[in-house]
Amino acid sequence: MTQEPKVRLRDLYKIFGAKDKEVLHHVKAGMSKEELLVDHRHVLGLQDINVDMQAGEITVVMGLSGSGKSTLIRHLNRLIEPTAGEILIDGVDVMGLSETGLRDIRQEKMSMVFQKFALLPHRTVLQNAGMALAVRGVDAATIDTEARKWLDRVGLQGFENHYPAQLSGGMQQRVGIARALTANTDIMLMDEAFSALDPLIRTDMQNLLLELQDELHKTIIFITHDLDEALKLADHLVILKDGAVVQQGEPQGILMNPSDPYIEDFVSDINRARVLRVKSVMEPLNGKKFAGDVAIGDNLESLIARSEGDTTLHYRVMDGDTPVGELHMKDLVKALVPRLSSTHTE
Amino acid sequence: MAFYDGIFNTLGLRNWCGEGASEAPMSMADLLAKSSGEATKEEFFPFPSLDNLSESCAGIIQSRDVTKGIENGFLAAKPGLKTVLDPITQPLSWLLDGALWVFATTPWFIMVPILVAISWWASRSKPVTIFVFAAIMLMGLVDHYDVAMQTLSIIFVCTGISILLGVPIGIAMSKSDRLQRSVVPILDLLQTLPTFVYLIPLIFLFSVTESKLYGIAIILYAIVPVVRLTDLGIRLVDQDVIEAANAFGMNSRQKLIGVELPLALPNIMAGINQTIMMSLAMVVIASLVSAPGLGVNVLRGIRNLELGVGIVAGIGIVLLAVILDRVSKAALTRVDMTRVKH
Ligand SMILES: Nc1ncnc2c1ncn2[C@@H]1O[C@H](COP(=O)(O)OP(=O)(O)OP(=O)(O)O)[C@@H](O)[C@H]1O
Ligand SMILES: [Mg+2]
């Protein structure tokens, strides 16, 4: 990860209210969201955000309702103006752009998928999918082939001439994704894209996204309030609380070493066996007798099934064809118990 | 000796008032009293109106001076207003006269199919189209075809112009809160003003022989709903969709044409429907100022107590109203259907 991050947020602050710049120094001096609201009638949206989003990765921003997730993602394409700070995309500060410059990067660099789909109700599925290209002024034939290609890819062949209202929620969101993919941008912004869908369809859509990402290697910024979803999708996980980042990093690392009681609470009731992967609990290769080989990306649940609960076993961990470490079932069992800070255990 | 003499005396205004009120022209009330031959009765405590006050004090104007003053003001402003308004509004006269001519000269066996075709195109509804045909034939049967066509042609022109002006005004209002705040009171005024009152300043400005006189009255009255509902419709467009349009980099023209107007269309159509109905209401009243059509017959019915003439014309108006309403409502539900087609 030595390359320049694709998207970079530097010291970003957002305060909602008429005199946001004037109350900024209070926030910088450590005033809390409640105090700011009571004393100055301004809402603290984001404070001191520093996040690097790498090209080709899925960065998941997670937090409870009202933590500022939507506010954060809308800064990337400046649907919301920051109070202070820098937003760098490919090293260019979005804040320095003219109106046309901004429109250009919205058209060429970023596409967005919305929680409520936000499709054009009076246009067909095909026209909706081609919307971004139509905005750019691409010729109709190209729009048609591109839109059809991506609609096929998300499993909507045959629905091209339907209207959004004729589709189920899951299908509408597939159109939303096809629309973003047809735009053919490096960056995809997804604000709770799957939150309005029921659990089964949601899992489908997550798998679809991962499958597409394997192929396309886009820079995806994904917002969710669901930890399972976050852990499933994230290469880089950012946890927000009251507009501030409480912890960010590799998701397995956050799960194994939560830095804050807030996050411990968060991670305490998820199915760790399903989320944790071999990679997070393996040890360096030491050469014992192994019961078999496991892949580095397998989750612990599959291993438990395979060992039939025998905690005395050892497995060799393979990354493709090369052995990279070993895994003791005892460590695996230990990792299943969430580490709780002293406040919780005593 | 008038009631308020004492007050002016005690206030020391006698000199300013001038001696006695005798040289002042007689007030309206006196005039009336005199002509009916009754002696003016002294009221115990008359209302301190201009007429009563001026009886005690010649320095105070009479009420008829006020109306006179307003009239003079209007007359003084008239040449200036006319030089500005006449050229602007002249095309309206041409349009109205032209439309009346077209509707009058096109033979009925061509006109009726055209109207039926228009209703079919707008409504795509068989019952509505059949009703339109039947209603026109019925009016023709009682020899009201010509007057009905006159009324219809005026409505076409006035509604067309109302839409042409009203939709852009509504769009501008939806984009600017300031503009909205200043236009809404004008719309309120236009809507609350009794229809007859419109006609008064217009009669001063334009001669009754000009078609634009009633054209302006109808447009002023009928433009209100289309303006209001265009503004409302655009403001009510789903903000999520607008956000998507922004996120994909649409400029404001693309947004307006590709998103806002189509999504506001059902509301705009509802406004157009009301505009049509209000044109019809006003075209009847405008027959007072020489607008031709069914209204003239209604007026004749009232003035000459020709009950039958009035009622037949009235039924003709109702039929026209139902036709226009059905067709525009059917068109409205049709555009609504494309949004949520299940
Ligand atoms: N336009 C605005 N004016 C004032 N306050 C706002 C505005 N938009 C957001 N906020 C405030 O900013 C905070 C963060 O809002 P945001 O919508 O980003 O939350 P979120 O994390 O996306 O929540 P959710 O999961 O409910 O979507 C909230 O306290 C909200 O009240
Ligand atoms: Mg949100």
Mean pLDDT throughout A43-58? Answer: 93
Across chain B, mean pLDDT equals 87
Confirm if B190 and B220 have CB atoms less than 8 A apart: yes
Name the band, by pLDDT with cuts 50, 70 and 90, for residue B334: confident
The residues with which A237 forms a beta bridge, in sequence order, are A60, A249
Interface test with B, best of A116, A138, A175 (most B CBs within 10 A): A116
If contacts are CB pairs under 8 Å, which of residues 275-304 in chain A contact chain B?
A: none
DSSP H or E stretch at residue B215:
helix B211-235
| pLDDT greater than 60 at residue A274 | yes
> pLDDT band at A338, cuts 50/70/90?
confident
Atom of ligand 1 nearest to the CA of A67: 21
- Mean pLDDT computed over B9-27: 69
pTM of the model: 0.82
Give residue A129's pLDDT: 95
Helix axes B261-285, B307-339, angle to 10 degrees: 180
pLDDT tens sequence across A199-209? 888 898 899 99
Q: What is the arithmetic mean of pLDDT over B121-138?
A: 93
pLDDT digits (tens, 9 = 90+) for A153-169: 888 999 999 999 999 98
Residue A164 DSSP label: G
Q: What sign has the CA pseudo-torsion A270, A275, A280, A286?
A: positive
Average pLDDT, chain A: 89
pLDDT digits (tens, 9 = 90+) for B57-76: 888 888 888 889 988 888 88
Query: Which residues on neighbouring strands pair with residue A316, listed in sequence order?
Result: A293, A326
Candidates A8, A66, A10, A47; CA nearest to A244 is A47
**Confidence grade of residue A282 (pLDDT, cut at 50, 70, 90):** confident
Of A73, A102, A121, the C-alpha closest to B242 is A121
| Amino acid at site A64 | L
- Sign of the Cα torsion B114, B119, B124, B125 reads negative
Residues with CB under 6 A from ligand 1: A 16, 43, 45, 63, 65-71, 225
Tens digit of pLDDT for each residue in B308-318? 999 999 999 99
pLDDT beyond 60 at A185: yes
CB atoms within 10 A of CB A28: 13
Asked whether the beta carbons of A3 and A217 are under 8 A apart, the reply is: no
Asked if residue A93 lies in contact with residue A8, where contact means CB atoms within 8 angstroms, the answer is: no
> Considering only CA atoms, which of A155, A107, A146 is closest in space to residue A126?
A146
Q: Which of B289, B280, B288 is nearest to B205 (CA)?
A: B289
User: How does residue A252 score in pLDDT terms, banded at 50, 70 and 90?
Assistant: confident
Q: Is A127 on the interface with B (CB under 8 A)?
A: no
What is the percent of chain B where pLDDT is above 70? Answer: 91
- CB of A281 closer than 8 Å to CB of A332: yes
- In whole angstroms, what is the distance from residue B318 CA to residue B316 CA? 5
Whole-number pLDDT of residue B250:
94
Dihedral angle, C-alpha B48, B53, B55, B59, nearest 10 °: -170
DSSP 8-state class, residue B50 = H
A103 to chain B: closest CA residue: B249
Signed CA dihedral, B45, B49, B55, B58: sign only? positive
Looking at the complex, report in whole angstroms how far the Cα of residue A101 sits from the nearest Cα belonging to chain B: 10
pLDDT score at B243: 94
Which of A163, A190, A191, A223 should one mutate to test binding to chain B, selecting the residue with the greatest count of B CBs within 10 A? A163
- pLDDT-based confidence at residue A343 (cuts at 50, 70, 90): very low
- pLDDT of A346: 36
pLDDT for A342 equals: 44
Q: How far apart are CA B216 and CA B202, in angstroms?
A: 8
Please tell me what DSSP assigns to residue A283.
Answer: B
CA of A191 to the centre of ligand 2 (A): 7
> Is B339's CB within 8 Å of A165's CB?
yes
Query: In which band, very low, low, confident or very high, does the pLDDT at A240 lie, cut at 50, 70 and 90?
Result: very high
SS3 A257: coil
pLDDT higher at B15 or A32: A32
